Structure 1
Amino acid sequence: MSARDWVEKDYYRELGVAKDASDADIKKAYRKIARENHPDTKQNDPKAEAKFKAAGEAYGVLSDPEKRRQYDEARTLFSGGRFGGFGGGRGGGGGTAPPGGFSGGFDVGDLFGGGGRSAGAPGAGGLGDLLGGLFGGGAGAGTAAGPTPGMAGTRPREQRGADVETDVRIDFAEAVGGTTLPLRLASPARCGTCGGNGAKPGTSPRTCLTCGGAGVVSRSQGAFAFSEPCRDCAGSGSIVDDPCPECGGDGVSTRSRTLTVRIPPGVDDGQRIRLAGQGQPGSRGGPAGDLFVVVHVNADGAFGRSERNADDLTLTVPVTFPELVVGTTITVPTMDGKVSLKVPAGTQSGRTLRVRGRGVHRKDGRTGDLLVTVELSVPQRLSAEARDALDAYAKATADHDPRADLTRRAEAAARRETAS
């Protein structure tokens, strides 16, 4: 697309968000569009595929704080008409200042780093650097009639691909012990037919003759000189005469691929795992972005994770009243078998006992524990014999008041209140 098309392209509208939308809102909108128009759910649907690609392109810019800042600044400068658009502005004869209050000596080419300053001068670069971060425009410009001497070797800067995020769901046991998952993705990737250069196999892109490969051109209008991304090559510095049949010259195609994701032991619910270089491919030879896998862990019916130490597992075990009173040894399950646990005599219901080394086993050698909480199990029904035994126990322990300490503290508090 041309430079004007690029600036006038509204990425916020593509995602259906406001210009001041938060990062969370942008991510939510992108994931909604991507989910509704995913090639796996809407096969052979060109409109859905176009929406999927457009949303990915928009998210690639708006999800990156620096790219988003550059994009907003570029739209403010050119779409807002501060310089009359690309190639706009009127050169007034006799030194008349153009709209905006700039004097006759002002050269918009300076904004692209190709005006009166040399490449090594302080402040050089200007808007050429700003736009270069988004669509690869390089500093420096050739004229409309041809490249400026010494600019033939200048090439637009490469651009890193956008990061991609996906979700997986695993069982609790897999989160504790770790697992390996195959991950099937349908996403934009570097075209396998042309290798990403956009040209049909056996051919190559040629250097744009208009800008000499710089991606930027300058032209004069009256007393003014204006610079803009080259319209012939859309700022890329090269032209594809025979496009690749698979990607149509974009260098990127949507395809399915399968990756192997290693989930480490002890992964937390909501944790993100980074796969470097597995995101969207870069443009003009730039590196690919990263793939972030968000892990969701299903809850387990028995085991849990300790809030104080993520390496410790928790388990609640019901016990009887006699087991708490006289003590016993019980068998409890673990994530990798069973163990025997001694319950000391006189143990209170709700007490937590520790089984060492039966928690999460980390790769670095760290090992968590299993925290077993014993909980009194009260029977719903009693036989006549059990009821008689319970009555006999109550008579034998009538002198024991389990609430005596609570009563004493309440009476002491009442006396203090009266005295005051």
Structure 2
Amino acid sequence: MSTQVDYYELLECERTADAGVIKSSYRKLAMKYHPDKNAGCKDSEAKFKAVSEAYDVLKDPQKRAAYDRFGHAAFQQGGGGGGGAQDFGGFSDIFESVFGEFMGGRGGGGRQQARRGADLRYDMEVTLEEAFHGKATEITVDVSAECDTCHGSGAKPGTHASTCRQCNGHGKVRAQQGFFVVERPCPVCQGAGQVIADPCGDCRGEGRVDKTKTLTVNVPAGVDEGTRIRLTGEGEAGPRGAPAGDLYIFLHVKRHALFEREGTTLFARVPISFTTAALGGSLSIPGLDGDTHELKIPAGIQTGKQLRQRGAGMPVLQGRGSGDLVVQIEVETPTRLSSRQRELLEMFRETETGDECPASQGFFAKLKGVFAAE
């Protein structure tokens, strides 16, 4: 990014501001510093670029979340948020998307930029085992894809589109409004810059047709609920050969019968008998890695105590190492006793001194002291 000034400060917004407040603030600042209103003023031009850059990040929920977490490092090469900077579309595009029409008058007059196809979303469920190991799977999606007959041009094979005479291929026409020069899409070519006299019969001049595509999705090990996978160029095809949008795969991890997950840590609640809790023992837990993990249970363990197996949790997404497996003990009181078992427990109770369960003894002593004080 071109500046290290805080984006919220640039847009004069609180960090808790909603999208509407951020957009309103950008509109005000963009109008104030727009180069057409401050011809020749380098400071205003720099300020306009800075607020446009800030708005490009904060208007996008994904980029904003990355910025809130990592700051400017999220958009630097190798930064924690990843990939924000390369999506930056340019200050004029941002201004146009907010105000609905772009204020021209700065020269250039190039051809209208081809309108990119729409991005698509696909929701996919994976099991916790699949999230652990990763997987490659095929999906089918219905999209508007490039027409095979005209190869996306929209023109009948053997013919080609001609330059629009109204806008001379720019795709936009200009009109003077006060001291602004306002550009609008050309009414003849609808902003394409070209006119098709003999359209393709299969796509009717659109350059795209509806298709069902089969795609391979590689799910990496360590994905979590809400992880997003981007398939570049697999979204809707752009009109008349314009670039296609992207397909975003949103992952949802199914609930597991044994394990719960928090980041890279796996949790399991495991009941043990009260005799094992009193005398100690061992516990075998099957892991998602296919191994059986042996955990030693110390004598006198209580409900809620956690035992940790290092490195037996979820793998780090696109990283190295794994989290831990945490087993939370739940001591189970027997509900069905044989007469012999009951007899033995009665004998045990007769030998109790209170030292066997110091927490219980301490609680009742404290309780007695509270009421005695009253």
Q: TM-score range with shorter-chain normalisation?
A: 0.5 to 0.7
Residue 253 (structure 1) aligned with residue 253 (structure 2): no
Residue 404 (structure 1) aligned with residue 358 (structure 2): no
**2:154, 2:240 within 8 Å by CA — same for their partners in 1?**
no
More moved, 268-277 vs 235-244: 268-277
More moved, 312-321 vs 270-279: 270-279
Aligned partner of 1:318 in structure 2 is 271
Aligned partner of 1:348 in structure 2 is 302
TM-score (norm. length: structure 2): 0.65
Given candidates 157, 161, 164, the residue that maps to 2:113 is 157
Given candidates 219, 226, 231, the residue that maps to 1:270 is 226
Residues 332 and 217 (structure 1), Cα distance of their counterparts in 2 relative to 1, 3 Å cut? closer
Aligned partner of 1:90 in structure 2 is none
**1:137, 1:229 within 8 Å by CA — same for their partners in 2?**
no
Question: In 2, distance between residues paired with 1:295 and 1:250?
Answer: 33
The residue type paired with residue 268 of structure 2 is L
Given candidates 178, 182, 186, the residue that maps to 2:142 is 186
Deviation at residue 169 of structure 1 after TM alignment: 0.8
Secondary structure of the equivalent of 2:350?
A: helix
**1:268, 1:297 within 8 Å by CA — same for their partners in 2?**
yes
Residues 280 and 413 (structure 1), Cα distance of their counterparts in 2 relative to 1, 3 Å cut? farther
**2:154, 2:203 within 8 Å by CA — same for their partners in 1?**
yes
Deviation at residue 305 of structure 1 after TM alignment: 0.8
Count of residue correspondences: 291
More moved, 383-392 vs 357-366: 357-366
1:16-67: CA deviation from partner (whole Å, max 9, x where unpaired): xxxxxx98xxxxxxxxxxxxxxxxxxxxxxxxxxxxxxxxxxxxxxxxx99x
The residue type paired with residue 334 of structure 1 is G
Aligned partner of 1:384 in structure 2 is 339
Q: Counterparts of 1:202-217 in structure 2 under 5 Å?
A: 202-217=158-173
Given candidates 287, 299, 303, the residue that maps to 2:243 is 287
Question: In 2, distance between residues paired with 1:331 and 1:318?
Answer: 12
The residue type paired with residue 386 of structure 1 is Q
Q: Counterparts of 1:112-151 in structure 2 under 5 Å?
A: none
Question: In 2, distance between residues paired with 1:182 and 1:131?
Answer: 38
**1:138, 1:154 within 8 Å by CA — same for their partners in 2?**
no
Deviation at residue 161 of structure 1 after TM alignment: 2.7
1:325-360: CA deviation from partner (whole Å, max 9, x where unpaired): 121122221111312221111211221111122111
Given candidates 241, 253, 266, the residue that maps to 2:197 is 241
1:158-195: CA deviation from partner (whole Å, max 9, x where unpaired): 22332221201111211222222212110223333322
Question: In 2, distance between residues paired with 1:251 and 1:137?
Answer: 26
The residue type paired with residue 192 of structure 2 is S
Structure 2: runs of 5+ lacking an equivalent = 1-17, 28-35, 40-44, 49-91
Secondary structure of the equivalent of 1:185?
A: strand
**2:103, 2:183 within 8 Å by CA — same for their partners in 1?**
no
Residues 333 and 228 (structure 1), Cα distance of their counterparts in 2 relative to 1, 3 Å cut? closer
**2:206, 2:239 within 8 Å by CA — same for their partners in 1?**
no
Secondary structure of the equivalent of 1:274?
A: strand
**1:171, 1:299 within 8 Å by CA — same for their partners in 2?**
yes
The residue type paired with residue 249 of structure 2 is V
What is the RMSD of the two structures over their aligned residues, measured on CA atoms? Answer: 4.1
Question: In 2, distance between residues paired with 1:197 and 1:269?
Answer: 40
Q: Counterparts of 1:38-77 in structure 2 under 5 Å?
A: none
Secondary structure of the equivalent of 2:286?
A: strand
Aligned-pair identity (%): 34
The residue type paired with residue 276 of structure 1 is T
Deviation at residue 311 of structure 1 after TM alignment: 0.9
Deviation at residue 383 of structure 1 after TM alignment: 1.1
**2:274, 2:334 within 8 Å by CA — same for their partners in 1?**
no
TM-score (norm. length: structure 1): 0.58
Residues 351 and 134 (structure 1), Cα distance of their counterparts in 2 relative to 1, 3 Å cut? same
Structure 1: runs of 5+ lacking an equivalent = 1-21, 24-64, 71-112, 141-149
